[in-house]
Amino acid sequence: MENSNRNRLFSLVSVTYMMLAFVWWTALLTRRNNELFQLKVENLALHMKAENVFQDTISFQKSIHFQVLSADYQKHRRMVVGEGSFLFLGFMSILWMIQWGYRRDIAMAQQRRNFLLSITHELKSPLASIKLILQTILKRDLEKAQVQKLCDSGQKETERLTELVNNLLLSARLDAIYKPVREEINVAQLVEEVIQRFRTRFPNALLEIVSNEVPILRAEKLSLISVLMNLLENAVKYSKGTAEIRLTYRYEKEQFVFEVADFGIGIPVKERSKVFNRFYRIGNEDTRSTRGTGLGLYIVKQIIKIHKGKIQILNNLPKGTIFKIILPS
């Protein structure tokens, strides 16, 4: 980052110097052009006066010789101003690109930092829990019910780790040439499978299903399960207290529509175009209270894009967020 700052400063100073030098050169050239025009006018006036061609200033300015001289002067003036303006805009564009590149590098560095912090936390937390569970089972004489309870907790932490690894692998696949393996999907059965997974992981969340009859959908089943699970998990993370979520699916205008609505804190409008970026999370890892890696919504967006669909973020009423997915038939 220090080298980047030095390079940025050197580039800014160099471009600014060249821009100021060019402005100064343009001013000098304009003044030189004006002085040369005045000299030519004076010489022409003396020559024409010596030949008694004109009587006063008005007749001189109307003469063909002055008109030609004036047209040539205006031509050179427009050329200097035009080229000067074009190059000035070019220099301003370079300055803007330098600043834009610097801001992009800063944002990417912050995202990488956030990702490393979040992935470290996401790995350490379940691993520490599993280690503690195993140590407790090995060192203490527990009843069967207590062992079963600890094993259930360990299984949940293992599933959490498995999901994290799957998201990382899926993210890597999406960066490469990824083609979904389409199959005929019964949407109702797909949603039922998602519900079972969701309620296993979040037994306290309130999930409402709203649906109507839909035809068979041709898509990659595992990818759509990942999409819905990521959206549902996102709704839980950003809900205060007991999460209330509504999952809707329907078929309208020859399109499949899925909606995941929550009544949580919502997403600011200025952040909505960024939340689908890889590793992007609102805030920073030093102050953020919700866990995650910033991969969930990125995976959602890429999978929907690969299926030639689209996703929208809408306001829920009276509060919260709606993620709306539209897939073609």
Q: Retrieve residue 291's tokens.
A: 């866990």
CA 139 from centre of chain: 50
Kindly state whether residues 151 and 212 are assigned to the same domain.
no
What is the full DSSP assignment across 153-176? HHHHHHHHHHHHHHHHHHHHHHHS
Kindly state whether residues 158 and 273 are assigned to the same domain.
no
Domain that holds residue 317: 183-328
Give the CA diameter of the chain. Answer: 127
Kindly state whether residues 318 and 213 are assigned to the same domain.
yes
Residue 72 has a pLDDT of: 84
Helix (H, G, I), strand (E, B) or coil at 278: coil
> What's the Cα-to-Cα distance from 35 to each of 38, 70, 96, rounded to whole Å?
5, 13, 36
Kindly state whether residues 323 and 187 are assigned to the same domain.
yes
- CA dist 248 and 269 (Å) reads 23
Kindly state whether residues 204 and 302 are assigned to the same domain.
yes
pLDDT in tens, the chain (329 residues): 556 667 667 777 777 777 777 778 778 878 888 888 788 878 877 777 777 766 677 777 777 877 888 888 888 888 877 777 777 787 778 778 877 877 777 777 776 776 666 677 777 888 888 899 899 888 888 888 888 888 888 888 888 788 778 777 777 777 666 778 899 999 999 999 999 989 988 888 999 999 888 999 999 998 899 899 999 998 998 888 889 999 999 999 899 999 999 988 888 888 888 888 877 766 544 434 556 667 788 889 999 998 999 999 998 888 889 999 999 98
Residue 286 has a pLDDT of: 41
First to last CA, the chain: 48
Residue 311 has a pLDDT of: 93
Bond into 318 cis (ω within 30): yes
Q: Which residues pair with 250 in a beta bridge?
A: 257
Q: pTM to 2 decimals?
A: 0.59
The residues near 303 (Cβ < 8 Å, ≥ 6 apart) are 174, 180, 220, 223, 224, 226, 227
Domain end marker among 65, 92, 111: 111
Per-residue burial over 94-117, b = 16 or more CB atoms within 10 Å of its CB, e = otherwise: beeebeeebeeeeeeeebeebbee
> What's the Cα-to-Cα distance from 111 to each of 33, 280, 285, rounded to whole Å?
54, 6, 10
Kindly state whether residues 160 and 258 are assigned to the same domain.
no
Kindly state whether residues 222 and 289 are assigned to the same domain.
yes
Query: Strands 206-211 and 244-252, how do they pair?
Result: parallel
Kindly state whether residues 98 and 224 are assigned to the same domain.
no
Kindly state whether residues 207 and 124 are assigned to the same domain.
no
Domain end marker among 153, 175, 197: 175
The enclosing domain of 230 has a CATH number of 3.30.565.10
Kindly state whether residues 53 and 169 are assigned to the same domain.
no
Closest to 248 measured CA to CA, from 210, 199, 206: 210
The residues near 243 (Cβ < 8 Å, ≥ 6 apart) are 202, 204, 205, 206, 235, 236, 262, 264
Kindly state whether residues 135 and 190 are assigned to the same domain.
no
Domain end marker among 55, 77, 111: 111
> What's the Cα-to-Cα distance from 224 to each of 215, 246, 326, rounded to whole Å?
16, 17, 12
Residue 261 has a pLDDT of: 93
* Number of separate domains in the chain: 3
Kindly report the backbone phi and psi dihedral angles of residue 277, in degrees, each rounded to the nearest multiple of 5, phi listed first.
Answer: -75, 150
Kindly state whether residues 11 and 87 are assigned to the same domain.
yes
Closest to 230 measured CA to CA, from 205, 198, 258: 198
Closest to 228 measured CA to CA, from 311, 136, 328, 306: 311
